[in-house]
């Protein structure tokens, strides 16, 4: 596994070294018209409209408000306020507020989050990547092996409160990081009865044991963790950031190291645990203001203690990003199913080429359109150890000593960007291995990194 990890790192470096050489010697002068300087308050919003036969009609809105002050820092903002409110007719929903500012506390960057996230069909494929066998026939109603469309799902209600602080060490580029993050995860099996309300007989979900139910019954998920729990994380770290623009940098690096400690006395867990998260991102200009290349490499692993199963999927980033489900899905490995790559240690990375093919002014707002092509990958580097004594010998859901390898996804994206910071993103990715699903279409805000 260590060899594969090194090969993946070498692959990334091999891909970007020629780009670096070209970017550093590029002396092409831009002929693009400069953006209009924005001042004061500006906002962008997008409606949330979607439909799924199992979770129902989804509706709501996302709004991102920016304050640019007197404009002398543009495209940097003084304050950013992000709001998302969405619901589905079957009870899932997002209630989220994120505030980010370098001006509220002089000399300190503050990022605050308050979220209530309810999911009645959260992806759950087990642990340790390819050691957990994914069989799409179990979800396929036309298959002789069909069990339920919800077989690889579970229910989660997550409350998260977070406050992160960054301050200068030797200047704005090199910073210290400190923070606290509280989460309360309430876990359960999918409420089949609720999802079946209003359905015709031929659409009803069968009342059968799902993968989560089996994991609880077999003791893979301990009884005292099965319904979730509370965790408080204390954070400390370092950030080195030379990006020219945060939303879509044309040059610079962004590297962060975080140490996360979850003391037992500050949550409902019996044991403390410690986790290390290292993420490096780098950006290169291929054609000024038009074409850039970006890559990201992240390694996140447990250093000690015992991590409850419901904490395993999360990956951690500093502001303006925040805690994400992963690895797999819209924010880590596009095209691969969300939470497909879950263990006590993971490595994931991304390569992305971004082309701004149109720049203009629309209704007095600076606007550009961009296309992108990407290759994402991730793998488990430290397995989650669990009790196998209660697992039936004839079970078909786990592969003992499976050869873990990169879970890969590739695809393309389209971005609408207003005033450099408000970004509507549409990405489509395909998994390169059928064991990771087929494809994913993601519509949301912001570039991936």
Span 395-411, pLDDT tens digits:
878 887 788 999 999 99
Nearest by Cα to 35 from 381, 367, 448 = 367
Strands 291-305 and 41-52: what pairing? unpaired
Contact 116, 143 (CB under 8 A): no
Q: What tokens were used for 306?
A: 């015992």
Q: Supply the mean pLDDT for the chain.
A: 88
* 18 confidence band (pLDDT: 50, 70, 90): very low
Q: How many CB atoms lie within 10 A of CB 193?
A: 9
Pick the range with the lowest mean pLDDT from 7-11, 116-120, 320-324, 340-344.
7-11
Residue identified by tokens 């962060």 is: 256
**Per-residue pLDDT reduced to its tens digit, 202-261:** 889 999 999 999 999 999 999 999 999 999 999 999 999 999 988 899 999 999 999 999
Residue identified by tokens 């919003």 is: 45
Eight-state DSSP code of residue 437: -
Query: Which H or E element spans position 300?
Result: strand 291-305
Pick the range with the lowest mean pLDDT from 24-38, 86-100, 285-299, 361-375.
24-38
| Backbone φ and ψ of 141, nearest 5° | -65, -20
Cα dihedral 351→357→361→363 (10° resolution): -80
Contact 380, 343 (CB under 8 A): yes
**Per-residue pLDDT reduced to its tens digit, 171-188:** 889 999 999 999 999 999
CATH of domain 2-445: 2.40.160.50
3-class DSSP state of 109: strand
The domain spans of the chain are: 2-445
* Distance in angstroms (rounded) separating the CA atoms of residues 443 and 374: 16
| pLDDT value at residue 11 | 41
Nearest by Cα to 124 from 183, 185, 210 = 210
Nearest by Cα to 340 from 174, 115, 127, 30 = 127
* Distance in angstroms (rounded) separating the CA atoms of residues 153 and 236: 34
Q: Over 70: is that where the pLDDT of 308 sits? A: yes
* Distance in angstroms (rounded) separating the CA atoms of residues 282 and 290: 17
Contact 218, 390 (CB under 8 A): yes
Contact partners, residue 142, CB within 8 Å, separation at least 6: none
* Distance in angstroms (rounded) separating the CA atoms of residues 86 and 60: 4
């Amino acid at each position: 596994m260590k060899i594969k990890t090194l090969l993946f790192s070498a692959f990334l470096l091999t891909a970007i070294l020629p780009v670096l050489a070209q970017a550093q010697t590029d002396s092409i002068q831009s002929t693009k018209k400069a953006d209009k300087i924005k001042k004061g308050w500006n906002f962008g919003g997008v409606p949330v409209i979607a439909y799924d036969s199992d979770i129902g009609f989804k509706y709501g809105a996302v709004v991102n408000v920016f304050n640019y002050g007197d404009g002398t820092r543009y495209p940097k903002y003084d304050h950013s306020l992000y709001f998302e409110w969405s619901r589905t007719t079957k009870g899932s929903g997002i209630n989220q507020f994120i505030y980010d500012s370098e001006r509220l506390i002089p000399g300190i960057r503050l990022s605050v989050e308050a979220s209530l996230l309810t999911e009645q069909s959260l992806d759950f494929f087990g642990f340790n990547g390819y050691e957990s066998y994914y069989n799409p026939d179990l979800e396929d109603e036309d298959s002789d092996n069909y069990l339920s469309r919800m077989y690889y799902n579970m229910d989660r209600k997550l409350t998260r409160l977070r406050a992160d602080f960054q301050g200068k060490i030797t200047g704005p580029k090199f910073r210290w990081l400190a923070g606290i993050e509280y989460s309360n995860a309430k876990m359960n099996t999918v409420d089949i009865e609720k999802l079946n309300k209003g359905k015709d007989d031929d659409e009803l979900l069968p009342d059968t044991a799902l993968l989560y139910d089996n994991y609880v019954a077999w003791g893979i998920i301990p009884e005292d963790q099965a319904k979730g729990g509370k965790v408080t994380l204390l954070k400390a770290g370092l950030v080195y950031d030379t990006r020219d623009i945060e939303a879509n940098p044309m040059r610079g690096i962004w590297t962060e190291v975080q140490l996360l400690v979850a003391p037992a006395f500050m949550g409902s867990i019996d044991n403390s645990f410690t986790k290390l998260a290292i993420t490096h991102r780098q950006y290169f200009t291929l054609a000024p203001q038009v074409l850039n290349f970006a890559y990201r490499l992240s390694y996140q692993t447990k250093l000690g203690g015992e991590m409850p199963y419901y904490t395993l999927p999360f990956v951690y980033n500093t502001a303006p990003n925040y805690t994400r489900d992963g690895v797999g899905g819209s924010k880590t490995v596009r095209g691969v199913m969300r939470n497909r790559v879950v263990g006590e240690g993971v490595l994931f990375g991304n390569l992305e080429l971004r082309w701004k093919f149109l720049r203009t002014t629309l209704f007095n707002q600076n606007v550009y359109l961009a296309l992108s092509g990407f290759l994402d990958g991730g793998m488990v580097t430290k397995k989650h150890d669990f009790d196998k004594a209660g697992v039936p010998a004839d079970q078909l859901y786990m592969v003992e000593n499976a050869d873990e390898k990169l879970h890969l996804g590739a695809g393309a994206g389209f971005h609408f960007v207003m005033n450099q910071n408000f970004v509507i993103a549409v990405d489509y990715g395909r998994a390169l291995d059928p064991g990771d699903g087929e494809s994913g279409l993601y519509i949301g805000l912001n570039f991936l990194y």
